[in-house]
Amino acid sequence: MKVTISDVARLAGVSTATVSHTINSTRYVSSDTKEKVYQAIAQLGYTPDASARSFRTGKKKTVGFIVPDISNKFFGTLIESAENYLSAKGYHLIIANTKENMDREETNLRLLTAGLVDGLLIASTMDDFQRLDNLIPAGFPVVLIDRTFDTPKYPSVSVSCFQPIYRSVCCLAGQGKRRIGIIGGLPRLSTTKERVAAYRAAVADCGLPQDEALIRYGDSMEDSAPPCLNQLLEQGCDAILVCQGLMASVTIAYLRGQGIRLGQDLELVSFVDYDTHAYEFYYSQVDRIIQPVEKLGRTAGEQILLRVEQPDAPVQERVLTSVYRPRGEESV
């Protein structure tokens, strides 16, 4: 049978209150009594029941994370980094995967906001802020991560890539490239919109021809890069930006497989989802845009706990910056 706090109290010859206070250091207990309590706990092999505790206190010590694609390394690293922070603070992480499907996101939101978690990290795949907003109970602690909306109703942590993309396009133009293509993620996402906007701005400012055929959208899953790529090659592109890490790494492998020489036949600007030196050589012939994934995850962890503790603190919108690293340049 399950050992409860009363069993411990009985064996130790004290009240349940004292046992509870001893365990939680929540009021003074004489060292004699403490001793007896710990003795009893050890003897019975008692472990406080987490679900009774969270029922009673209303705190679950658990945060939910709604992710578009766990198998994608970008989100894998994000989760790792958030989990790392949260577990250090005594919190657990519940993962829900949407596979970029809005209905799955809706289902998960309903389930997770029903008393399962203290707060929610959301990398939303919704196209419509209203739909998301309607699913979140008033006052429920939420932090939007990576993907945001125009309305600053919820705190958010995201990465801006405007600057590096703008610069990379200008550099390519400066090298004489005229037909610069871009592959973005799902068009409805804020990240995609910002990236394409940066591209358009640079194309306009550099006086390059504006051609909608040079803008392609994938879905950030592995199989979606090659078709986009082929379309851009047919358009006679002399440079291509791939604005998402997974599609970018597939692109590099694909082009190499085709015998297309990067940095010679074609210039490539590639998003990179991690900050490691292990792949240095893999990217030696391409320009990179590097997002601070780990920092994103950690900041999200900080923000959600802050939110859980003070649900009505002022809404913060944190924007981290990504860096442009032309090929050949030293990595930091």
Q: Which residue in the set 44, 102, 111, 320 belongs to the binding site for a second copy (CB under 8 A)?
A: 111
Query: Is the distance from CB of 286 to CB of 327 less than 8 angstroms?
Result: yes
68 forms part of the interface with a second copy (CB under 8 A): no
Task: Mark out the alpha helices in 151-279 (DSSP H runs).
Answer: 162-174, 190-205, 225-234, 245-257
Could you give the maximum distance between any two Cα atoms of the chain, in Å?
Answer: 85
129 interface partner picked from a second copy, DNA, none, CB below 5 to 8 A per type:
none
Q: Which residue in the set 25, 28, 45, 314 belongs to the binding site for DNA (CB under 7 A)?
A: 28
**Radius of gyration over every alpha carbon of the chain, rounded to an integer in angstroms:** 25
Q: Which residue in the set 54, 160, 163, 231 belongs to the binding site for a second copy (CB under 8 A)?
A: 54
Q: How far is the CB of 42 from DNA (least distance, A)?
A: 15
Q: How far is the CB of 203 from a second copy (least distance, A)?
A: 29
Residue 178: partners with Cβ closer than 8 Å, 6 or more residues away: 208, 209, 238
55 forms part of the interface with a second copy (CB under 8 A): yes
102 forms part of the interface with a second copy (CB under 8 A): no
15 forms part of the interface with DNA (CB under 7 A): yes
Residue 208: partners with Cβ closer than 8 Å, 6 or more residues away: 173, 178, 180
Q: Which residue in the set 39, 56, 256, 315 belongs to the binding site for DNA (CB under 7 A)?
A: 56
What the block records as the tokens of 161 is: 């890539």
Residue of 102, 60, 67, 100 whose CA lies nearest to 81: 67
Applying CB under 8 A, the residues found at the interface with a second copy are 47-52, 54-55, 58, 60, 62, 69-73, 75-77, 79-80, 83-84, 87, 92-97, 108, 111-116, 137, 222-223, 225-226, 250, 253-254, 256-258, 274, 276-282, 284
